[in-house]
Structure formats: C-alpha cells, structure tokens
Amino acid sequence: MNTVILPVNEYSLGQSKKIICGGGAVAFPTETVYGLGANAFDNSAVENIFKIKGRPNDNPLIVHVHKDYDLSLLVKDIPDYARALSKAYLPGPLTMVFKSCGAVASAVSCRLGTLAIRIPSHEGAQRFLEYIDLPIAAPSANISKHVSPVTAQHVYSDLNGKIELILDGGKSEGGIESTVLDCTGEIPVILRSGLITREMIEKVAGRCEQYFLKDGERARSPGMKYKHYSPNCKTMLFAFNELQDALYEYEKSNAEGVTAYLLCDDKTAQIAAVDKVLKLGKDGEEMASNLYYKLREGEEKARLIIAVAPENQNGVMEGVMNRLSKACKNS
Ligand code: TXA
Ligand code: MG
C-alpha cells in the first residue's frame, strides 16, 4: 500500500471520508499527538486498527467527536462535574470516560461497558471530525509501544505501507496524550495524567483523585499496565539527585564508543554541561511539547538515551514523568 501525506484541505478531507466510510483508517493531527482513526460504528475497521498498530486487544480506544456532536448518542449518565469540566476545558486535551450506550462497535471499549470520549481542539482535527461526522475511534498513530508521533513524518516512519493517508496538521504542540478522566463515579479519577492537570480539574470539579495501579490488580485503564512511549534504543532514567550517576553513565558509554545522549530539562543541561544533550525546555508545558519529538530525534542519533528527571514534578510535569518512566521501563 502506498502511503501519502496531504495537508488538511477539501481534497484530503474528501479522500479521508472515502477511506473511513470504506472501513479503512486515516491518521490525523490533534493538539496532543497524531491519531489513527476509524469509524467507531464499524467493528472490523476498529479491529483493523489494533492489527495495524500491533496493539493488545484488551486496551480500549478513545472515541473522537467534533465539538457539536450529540454525546447522548454514545454515552449516558454524564455527571454535573463532567459538564462543568467540558465547559471549562473542551475542546481540548481532556478525555472523559462515561457509561456507554452500547452504540459503538464492541472492539472500541474491549467490552468494558464504558466509553472514553475526546473532543480535540486542533483545527485540523475538528475539520476532519466535522467533515466525516461520525465518531472516530483513534489510538495514537504509532506502532504499539513506540514513542507517540507528533508530526506527520513520525506517523509515516511507523506506518508507511500500512495505511493510505496521513493528514498533515503540523507539529502537535501539546506533545503528550490527553488526560484520561474516569467520570463514571461521584468523584472524577485521573487514569492518565496529561496537559489538563489535577489542579485544573480540582478547580472546576471541587475534588479529583489519581488512580495508581497496585500490583496484581486489574487495570481500570488497561493502557496503564503496558510498556509505552519507548524509543528504539536503550534508555536509562535517573532522578534529579542522581545527576552524578547519570553523568558517569554518559561518560562511560561514550568512552566505550556507544553514543549516549543526555535528555533533560534546560536547568539540568546547564549544570551537566555535556556536548550530547537533548534539551526538553524550562517548564512542564515546554517539556511535554518537546518530549516525544526529542525522544524520536534521540533514537536516530543515540544508542543510549540517559534521561534525568527535573527537580519540580508538579502540574504538567506529572504527565511528563509518567511518560518518561514508561519510556525507560525495561519490560
Ligand atoms: O491525546 C490522546 O488521547 C491521543 C490522541 C490521538 O487523541 N490518543 C491516545 O490514545 O493517546 P491511546 O489509545 O494511545 O490511549 C488511550 C488511553 C489508554 O490508556 C486506554 O487504556 C485508555 O485511554 N482508555 C480508553 N478507553 C477507556 C475506557 N473505556 N476506560 C478506561 N480507559 C480507557
Ligand atoms: Mg498510545
């Protein structure tokens, strides 16, 4: 299959509609990362997405809709706090999980009985979703476990030959996936942290909890149990107070002829003062925006990426740290 990259315009939207309505998949930009979308009502189209990515079939997909889509067609029992959060932060990088009406294909939610809904703010994503006017089931447009794509080129390098069309909407500025929030209970529960932070949710909903997977427990958001976001080279993660150990690994590796790069925030880069550095930025937002871009740049150059966690890990940094530790996980 020949894979083409096209800007978002009348022609490419027409092509997208043909592909999606014919049971195929199209990659499209969002403000977080690129998605790989299929018609959420079409079970075999959704199953095909799992095949293309090599994704485990118990890890459910998020359904994307345009801002005027009638959510009561898809989900029920939307609590008041979720309506308030929608008003405050949508369209935007917040995915909310509700009880499903059972309207979408069973493969979308892996029979969980719930459905994750996302209304992206990216202009290209909105145009795509409005033009097609169907709920679009879409995971990130990478091969399963690899770093999520934030440019059309990243999607191409993972999925070339496997899909027909990639809509190019420039670099995804958010840089890490949406916050996933369970809205099926009395209090919202963060299942995956992201750009809409716990503090932002608490401000609107009053309360908010964070879900942590305990050993042996069945994951409420199955994506949490898998290795993720990993570059195709060796990675090591060090805490801020372990910078000397990280620098020791850096020197040792480069001396042995294994090219190592240090991945860190700007302040740590300044202290470390080494040549081979991938700088992520000065704060959580900048670091999120650059994280996957730099991990992909790093895997091209390095055989070892040594990541150093920044000192401050609040707000958006929670999401960045979650991705960094998964990228550096060994199983
Ligand atoms: O920003 C994003 O969310 C991107 C863009 C493309 O929209 N999408 C994305 O999809 O990150 P994916 O498939 O890579 O991650 C979806 C996450 C997984 O952790 C999955 O387990 C969780 O959402 N999820 C999906 N449906 C769920 C449900 N019904 N209940 C709990 N978790 C769910
Ligand atoms: Mg993903």
Average pLDDT over residues 15-38: 98
- At residue 330, does pLDDT exceed 70? no
Which DSSP helix (H) or strand (E) runs through 191?
A: strand 189-192
Per-residue pLDDT reduced to its tens digit, 258-306: 999 999 999 999 999 999 999 999 999 999 999 999 999 999 999 999 9
Structure tokens at 20: 């999606």
- At residue 312, does pLDDT exceed 90? no
**Ligand 2 mean position, distance from CA 276 (Å):** 28
Average pLDDT over residues 97-126: 96
At residue 212 the predicted structure's pLDDT band, cuts being 50, 70 and 90, is: confident
Q: Which residues line ligand 1 (CB under 6 A)?
A: 30, 32-33, 35, 59-62, 93, 95, 97, 109, 112, 114-116, 118, 138-140, 177-178, 180, 191-192, 221-223
**Ligand 1 mean position, distance from CA 62 (Å):** 5
Atom of ligand 1 nearest to the CA of 108: 26
Determine the pLDDT at residue 220.
Answer: 67
**Ligand 1 mean position, distance from CA 176 (Å):** 12
Q: Which residues does residue 115 pair with via DSSP β-bridges, in sequence order?
A: 98
- Phi/psi of residue 142, each to 5°? -120, 165
Residues 6 or more apart whose Cβ sits within 8 Å of residue 220: 182, 189, 191, 211, 213
Atom of ligand 1 nearest to the CA of 35: 6
What's the rounded Cα separation, in Å, for the pair 101 and 111? 12
Per-residue pLDDT reduced to its tens digit, 132-165: 999 999 999 999 999 999 999 999 999 999 999 9
Task: Identify the CA nearest to 310 among candidates 250, 204, 237, 214.
Answer: 237
Average pLDDT over residues 5-33: 98
Atom of ligand 1 nearest to the CA of 61: 25
Q: Of the given ranges (60-64, 69-73, 213-217, 241-245), which has the lowest mean pLDDT? A: 213-217
**Its pTM surpasses 0.75:** yes
Percent of the chain surpassing pLDDT 70: 95
**Ligand 2 mean position, distance from CA 140 (Å):** 4
At residue 309 the predicted structure's pLDDT band, cuts being 50, 70 and 90, is: very high
Average pLDDT over residues 38-48: 98
Structure tokens at 321: 């740290």
Average pLDDT over residues 82-111: 97
